[in-house]
Structure 1
Amino acid sequence: MTEKPNHLINEKSPYLLQHAYNPVEWYPWGDEPFTRAKKEDKPIFLSIGYSTCHWCHVMAHESFENKKIAALLNRYFVCIKVDREERPDVDQMYMAATMAMNGSGGWPMSVFLLPDGRPFYAATYIPAKGMYGRPGFPEIIDAIHKAWQGRRDELEASASKLINALEEQHQVSASAIKPDVDDRAFSQLSSEYDAVHGGFGSAPKFPRPVLFNFLLQYYHKTGNKHALNMTLTTLTAMAGGGMYDQLGGGFHRYSVDGQWRIPHFEKMLYDQAQLLHSYLDAYQITGDNRYAEVARSIVCYVLRVMHDPRGGFYSAEDADSEDPYAPGKHGEGAFYLWTEKDIVTTLGTRAANIFNFCYGVEFDGNALQDPQHEFTGRNILYRARTDEEAADHFSISVAEVSASLEKSRAILLAKRAQRVRPHLDDKIITAWNGLMIGALARAGAILDDPKMTSASAQAAQFIRSTLYDPATGLLKRRYRDGEAAHTGQLDDYAFLVAGLLDLYQVRQEPQLLSWAMDLTAKSITLFRDDKGGGFFDSVVDERVPIRMKADYDGAEPASNSVAAMNLLRLGRLTGNEDWLALAQKTLDAFSNRINSIPQAVPQMLCAVMLLQEKPEQVVIAGNRDTADTMAMEAEVWRHFNPNRVVLLADGGDNQNMLAKMLPFMQSVTMKDGRATAYVCRDFTCRLPVTSVKDLADRLTGSGKNN
């Protein structure tokens, strides 16, 4: 590395700052590097990654800190570095190009562009030295330079052909959505289901919470127990595996193996938020406290590690960390690994024997596979055996085992806290905070913990005060170190609106609903594709050749999937028929994808199923925050129903606002001075009830699964 910084030095992104002292003359994305490329007649080298990406670190160390490779890049190219989490529009477009060229993609992404931004060559991680018949980075640089000098017309033609193909690929045409798309998606997922270990497909296994959303809504609609059991088995297996942090809570990014044992150790905010929803749903349906405990542990982890004191939530923790057993060295997951000796020394022989029996700790280490030799003699904690099995093995009571394990976990967590934590990417992203706002709001209501709901509300207020301009109605994407930056994308608006709607359902504060409506109206103005239907994922950026529309619900749901769901929820909450019609048009715009590969868009299928079902409302007439009203609200949150909305007729601001949009709300009142619940279907209400028991009976009478 060199003492002299490059053009990234004034950026706020942790990822960009990691590269600010590279000898590569990096620029951030913007006008300056494109202007220079055109002026100097040079191609552009675009490198896209994120701060907690393991292979991004590897390529940085091998190539971008290498003065010889840096000199080649600086001589032949204008070099741009992009944080994919700050600029998902840039990442999305060039990922599509990378996948079109190679059939796969990933990070770091390495793309070579014409000076106008059109890509002509793309790769992911490129080793500094050639191996196994593959060229190293210097050879690729030299080959591209020679092509630029002697065969530029071919590069131009290749770029034009690629852009045309991508534009064709992302054109949508509306048609009728077939009535059996949810059944076909369920059938396909059933065929991919791993009945032994849970999950779908083979290794590596990703949690993909959008699948759980679909399966549980499908279960509610049809009563199909296999949809429920696939979800519960997978959630149970994940929580018992090494992918779950058995000491500190929260989930790692994915499992390298098929048994959820060996994780890729990143922890992402968007995973915690979506999986929190999944475990809350499982708890609502089953009443099994094991799911509630996992949900609580996710919240505890997020509030302990990823929570900014001002209210927002940080983005991620790195997979790599300092090795506690070899100071100065770093490794994948080192922070989370244990030697058997360390555990015995820390806990004492008796407690360690119980702990090691239950958590699969072995003297030589317990990794199922270790091709990089990173886990030799180390243990990744997972639930190898139950408390009951341990009680039988050690001839003690289950209560003694449980108490011993609880004490041991606390001791080991405290000792682990003395280690050097993995790098924390502390930028605050609007979209991901929207996901966490919704999850925490529901957690507070379902787990009866007001602190969780308060954390949700504080995060919403943080976003409003730092990343939202009430004068223009516009959102910024990222906040860090006192700076709000980057234009909000569709996912920022859609995910935040979804979170605000969840928070409104819990708090029934009219300003939350009003803000969600304002953001939705603004997103329609900014992103709606009047010609092709649906919404563009990004605002206009002349340097990005194509405005994309993602049609895959992956680690995060596609923005259009969430936008369609928001329009349905808001349309029904407010009686806005235009938004209901726009929801239908948005889904129709993706009908080809939905009809042909429905399992690719499970979150969009949730919107399709919601559209097919008649809306259900529970209206509670009562004074805000009184014991009888709160008891009614708590009973509603005990029951899983993805089609239900909750409305509070408080005789005040909330009821007045709702009555302007839903006239029937004007006549909803308490009976005999007691909190009163009205259970309605398609805005036709049954006789009101004033006891929690009668409300419970009404709530359990809907859905095919009851």
Structure 2
Amino acid sequence: MPNRLAAATSPYLLQHADNPVDWWEWGDDAFAEARRRDVPLLISVGYAACHWCHVMAHESFEDPATAAFMNEHFVNVKVDREERPDVDAVYMTATQAMTGSGGWPMTVFATPDGRPFFCGTYFPPRRVQQVPAFPEVLAALAAAWSTRRDEVVASAGSVADALAQRPATADGPSGGDLVDERVVARALGALGTTFDERDGGFGGAPKFPPSMVLEWLLRHHARTGDADALAMARRTLDAMARGGMYDQLAGGYARYSVDATWTVPHFEKMLYDNALLLRVHLHAWRLTGDPLDRRVVEETADWLLAELRTPQGGFASALDADSEGREGAFYVWTPTQLREVLGDDDGAWAADVLGVTDEGTFEHGASVLQRQAEPDDADRFASVRARLRAARERRPRPARDDKVVSAWNGLAVAALAEAGAVLERPDWLDAARTCARLLADLHTHPDAAGDDRLVRTSRDGVAGTAAGVLEDYADVAEGYLALAAATGEHEWSARAERLLRTVLRRFADDAGGLFDTADDTTDAVLGALRRPQDPTDGPTPGGQPAAAAALVTLAAATGSLELREAALAALRVPLQLAVRYPRAAGWALATTEALLDGPREVAVVGPADDAATRALHRSALAASAPGLVVALGDPDRLGAEAPALLRDRPLVGDRPAAYVCRGFVCERPVTDTAALEQALRA
């Protein structure tokens, strides 16, 4: 019989609905049951596309004997980390503190009030080297709770006290004082020591796509001409796009590479990676004109629309790594399989072009497709690629996690809106607009005070119950602002302002920083441990730097000093960390580049149906000035929601015009694209 998770909306929780484990969802009912039975909580945290989560589920949670012991001795709580990043953040901090590392699946044992006393990640069904078997862990902790309760409770209390301590930050200058060339130079120096000159990327295996750092490096080069910054970004982008982490048949990036050469990926495909990397490649193409970047933008955007778009117009969270019970089975090839699809001649040629060998680069002699050089016959390659893709479509497909996450959809809106406008793809722009409408209509609701509030997720057109966290507000605002810049539809910038005003009212701490949860949505159990506040980037921009970036753009569009000061305050802690850990502060450093450059503001005014207006608008969006803020409008038809950047900007001699401002100073308006491009290069 299905367990309680059968009523969940999370695809990850639904994957466990048929387990013999008597799972509960995170919430008051689970805590009350643990208190009633006087047993500990077993909190299992993962996500739908997590390979080792599937492994542990099959080995342990589907095992009747293991499940029976869990049900007898614990109240078992299953958490989707993507739906509840606040729960994940608090217990990941505890796991890392106790074990020195973290990851998913995450396995936490806690008192009935949620205080952790033992943490780990994956546990095998049988002991492997020094890793204890999961049944051994269960038995030991059940015994400890029964016979050494005082020790367990004391340990949990110590952990809770440690978690409750606010993370220490260095006393020092404010965020505004840290927006300085010396901070950027020190961060670049620290980053350079970790750069892999041969294979690109930073550090060793495994290698995750450094999306936010790449955005910073491109902006830094655009502002200063620093050749080393561009070289690091260029080498990394080339290596990722030509290696196995990029899907050479359909487009789109896998989550990370298990090796240092970007050859073998962990095959799950995440919305957030592809939204961020689509935008980075667009900015690289805008800066250098490299055709590889344009190809990746086009393929990845088309892949997003084909593979992740939901019937409601949002974007699903991920594609699984596994199919047919094996990781990567959908994506890998042998020489024999190529010949079966393509024939002997094309099969041998494709094997050479795509790096498919008899030895293989993956398991069981199969190879991950790579494209280390451009093929010598483009038409032949197009035919080969189409036939291989069609053959691959007949394979069992990886599962799709179809929940719509606010933050990640905001990133997708920003990427598709900007790419659609710059590369003149109205289908991408329409997709961005439709997704934004879903976020506005389904994910947003007013509270009693009139503030716009977000939910974290929806699925099948039904909004979830988990409250939005800081990254949701920041990234959705980022998406709205990019859409407004791309379309001239001022509703979106007005919506972004309402979200960011909510952030300043509901998420602020007493030092000008921002918490990850709102003051009225912080979970009671988590709040007793620690109100989450992580200033660093992970695989997505951190909440604080993401909010700062959106605030910088909005401040420029509205002329609000208050919003600019709020952005500087939110950057304080991330920039303090940046000089030592630049890989964790890429978005804060990218925002710093925008501030050091102005950011430059361009008001394009003219009738929407005038070709000259459209040309000026596209030239503005195609400029590489870091953090460029663009507003578009007809001065004769500005509504109440139009940003202040467009006010009092008339046509010039009845001709459409562009007004360029920087550092609170505006230049004379220009009416031709060459003059505008020159102004934005200066």
TM-score interval w.r.t. the shorter chain?
A: over 0.9
- Please name the residue that 1:515 is paired with: 495
The amino acid of 1:282's aligned partner reads: A
Give, in whole Å, the separation in 2 of the partners of 1:20 and 1:563: 36
1:615 is displaced (CA, Å) by 3.0
Contact 1:365–1:376 (CA under 8 A) maintained in structure 2: yes
- Please name the residue that 1:560 is paired with: 544
Task: Pick from 274, 278, 281 the counterpart of residue 279 of structure 1.
Answer: 281
Give, in whole Å, the separation in 1 of the partners of 2:159 and 2:281: 42
Give, in whole Å, the separation in 2 of the partners of 1:136 and 1:482: 41
List aligned pairs for 1:77-96, cutoff 5 A.
77-96=74-93
Task: Pick from 59, 66, 69 the counterpart of residue 63 of structure 2.
Answer: 66
Contact 1:629–1:675 (CA under 8 A) maintained in structure 2: yes
1:671 aligns with 2:652: yes
1:384 is displaced (CA, Å) by 4.0
Q: Which stretches in structure 1 are left out of the alignment for 5+ residues?
A: 323-329, 368-374, 388-397, 702-706
Give, in whole Å, the separation in 2 of the partners of 1:267 and 1:195: 26
Contact 1:619–1:679 (CA under 8 A) maintained in structure 2: yes
Deviations 1:138-159 (A, max 9, x none): 1111111111112222222222
1:20 is displaced (CA, Å) by 0.9
Q: Which stretches in structure 2 are left out of the alignment for 5+ residues?
A: none
- Please name the residue that 2:663 is paired with: 682
Give, in whole Å, the separation in 2 of the partners of 1:265 and 1:628: 45
Give, in whole Å, the separation in 1 of the partners of 2:165 and 2:269: 36
Contact 1:440–1:452 (CA under 8 A) maintained in structure 2: yes
- Please name the residue that 2:297 is paired with: 295
1:307 is displaced (CA, Å) by 0.4
Task: Pick from 392, 397, 406 the counterpart of residue 416 of structure 1.
Answer: 392
- Please name the residue that 1:483 is paired with: 462
Q: Per the alignment, in what secondary structure is the counterpart of residue 551 of structure 1?
A: coil
1:97 aligns with 2:94: yes
The amino acid of 1:408's aligned partner reads: V
1:531 is displaced (CA, Å) by 5.2
Give, in whole Å, the separation in 1 of the partners of 2:636 and 2:487: 14
1:598 is displaced (CA, Å) by 4.0
List aligned pairs for 1:131-142, cutoff 5 A.
131-142=128-139
List aligned pairs for 1:467-482, cutoff 5 A.
467-470=443-446, 472=450, 473-482=452-461
The amino acid of 1:91's aligned partner reads: D
1:621 is displaced (CA, Å) by 1.8
Give, in whole Å, the separation in 1 of the partners of 2:569 and 2:319: 39
The amino acid of 2:503's aligned partner reads: S
Aligned length: 669
Task: Pick from 526, 530, 550 the counterpart of residue 506 of structure 2.
Answer: 526
- Please name the residue that 2:337 is paired with: 342
Deviations 1:221-255 (A, max 9, x none): 33211101110111011110010000010000111
Contact 2:190–2:581 (CA under 8 A) maintained in structure 1: no
1:427 aligns with 2:422: no
Structure 1 stretch displaced more, 598-607 or 275-284: 598-607
- Please name the residue that 1:237 is paired with: 239
* Residues 132 and 366 of structure 1: CA distance in aligned 2, closer, same or farther (over 3 Å): closer
- Please name the residue that 2:477 is paired with: 497
1:686 is displaced (CA, Å) by 2.1
Q: Per the alignment, in what secondary structure is the counterpart of residue 119 of structure 2?
A: strand
Contact 1:109–1:124 (CA under 8 A) maintained in structure 2: yes
* Residues 268 and 619 of structure 1: CA distance in aligned 2, closer, same or farther (over 3 Å): same
Deviations 1:87-118 (A, max 9, x none): 00001110110000011000000000011001
1:403 aligns with 2:379: yes
Deviations 1:291-317 (A, max 9, x none): 011011111111001001321000000
1:533 is displaced (CA, Å) by 3.1
Contact 1:617–1:679 (CA under 8 A) maintained in structure 2: yes
Give, in whole Å, the separation in 2 of the partners of 1:592 and 1:244: 34
Give, in whole Å, the separation in 1 of the partners of 2:86 and 2:387: 44
Q: Per the alignment, in what secondary structure is the counterpart of residue 120 of structure 1?
A: strand
Give, in whole Å, the separation in 1 of the partners of 2:211 and 2:283: 11
The amino acid of 1:38's aligned partner reads: R
Structure 1 stretch displaced more, 589-598 or 69-78: 589-598
Structure 1 stretch displaced more, 173-182 or 599-608: 173-182
1:532 is displaced (CA, Å) by 6.6
The amino acid of 1:684's aligned partner reads: V
1:540 is displaced (CA, Å) by 1.1
The amino acid of 1:462's aligned partner reads: L
Give, in whole Å, the separation in 1 of the partners of 2:503 and 2:514: 11
Task: Pick from 8, 30, 35 the counterpart of residue 5 of structure 2.
Answer: 8
- Please name the residue that 2:42 is paired with: 45
The amino acid of 2:292's aligned partner reads: R
Contact 1:174–1:588 (CA under 8 A) maintained in structure 2: no
Give, in whole Å, the separation in 2 of the partners of 1:481 and 1:676: 44
Q: Per the alignment, in what secondary structure is the counterpart of residue 540 of structure 1?
A: coil
Give, in whole Å, the separation in 1 of the partners of 2:373 and 2:478: 39
1:119 aligns with 2:88: no
Deviations 1:348-369 (A, max 9, x none): 22222321111111233233xx
Deviations 1:511-564 (A, max 9, x none): 111110111111222211135733334531102121111122121111011011
1:22 aligns with 2:19: yes
Give, in whole Å, the separation in 2 of the partners of 1:308 and 1:481: 8
- Please name the residue that 1:650 is paired with: 634
1:221 aligns with 2:223: yes
The amino acid of 2:383's aligned partner reads: K
Deviations 1:30-61 (A, max 9, x none): 11110011111111000000111100000001
Give, in whole Å, the separation in 2 of the partners of 1:609 and 1:384: 32
Contact 2:469–2:516 (CA under 8 A) maintained in structure 1: no
Contact 2:111–2:117 (CA under 8 A) maintained in structure 1: yes
Give, in whole Å, the separation in 2 of the partners of 1:694 and 1:655: 29
Give, in whole Å, the separation in 1 of the partners of 2:128 and 2:515: 44
1:453 aligns with 2:429: yes
Structure 1 stretch displaced more, 681-690 or 528-537: 528-537
1:570 is displaced (CA, Å) by 1.0
* Residues 607 and 18 of structure 1: CA distance in aligned 2, closer, same or farther (over 3 Å): same
Give, in whole Å, the separation in 1 of the partners of 2:235 and 2:578: 27
Contact 2:602–2:629 (CA under 8 A) maintained in structure 1: yes
The amino acid of 1:499's aligned partner reads: G
The amino acid of 2:279's aligned partner reads: H
Task: Pick from 556, 559, 562 the counterpart of residue 575 of structure 1.
Answer: 559
The amino acid of 1:494's aligned partner reads: A
1:382 aligns with 2:335: no
Give, in whole Å, the separation in 2 of the partners of 1:85 and 1:496: 16
Deviations 1:620-677 (A, max 9, x none): 2211132111111111222211232112241245476446x45xx4432222322212
1:109 aligns with 2:106: yes
Deviations 1:407-435 (A, max 9, x none): 11011101111111101001111111001
Give, in whole Å, the separation in 2 of the partners of 1:437 and 1:230: 27
Give, in whole Å, the separation in 2 of the partners of 1:139 and 1:307: 43
Contact 1:529–1:536 (CA under 8 A) maintained in structure 2: no
Q: Per the alignment, in what secondary structure is the counterpart of residue 335 of structure 1?
A: coil
1:605 is displaced (CA, Å) by 2.0
Task: Pick from 354, 357, 360 the counterpart of residue 362 of structure 1.
Answer: 357
- Please name the residue that 1:199 is paired with: 201
The amino acid of 1:414's aligned partner reads: A
- Please name the residue that 1:249 is paired with: 251
Q: Per the alignment, in what secondary structure is the counterpart of residue 455 of structure 2?
A: strand
Give, in whole Å, the separation in 2 of the partners of 1:625 and 1:167: 57
Identity over aligned residues, as a percent? 41
* Residues 193 and 596 of structure 1: CA distance in aligned 2, closer, same or farther (over 3 Å): closer
Give, in whole Å, the separation in 2 of the partners of 1:591 and 1:309: 41
Task: Pick from 187, 190, 197 the counterpart of residue 189 of structure 2.
Answer: 187
- Please name the residue that 2:570 is paired with: 586
Give, in whole Å, the separation in 1 of the partners of 2:55 and 2:168: 37
Contact 1:42–1:78 (CA under 8 A) maintained in structure 2: yes
Structure 1 stretch displaced more, 113-122 or 219-228: 219-228
1:134 is displaced (CA, Å) by 3.3
The amino acid of 2:660's aligned partner reads: V
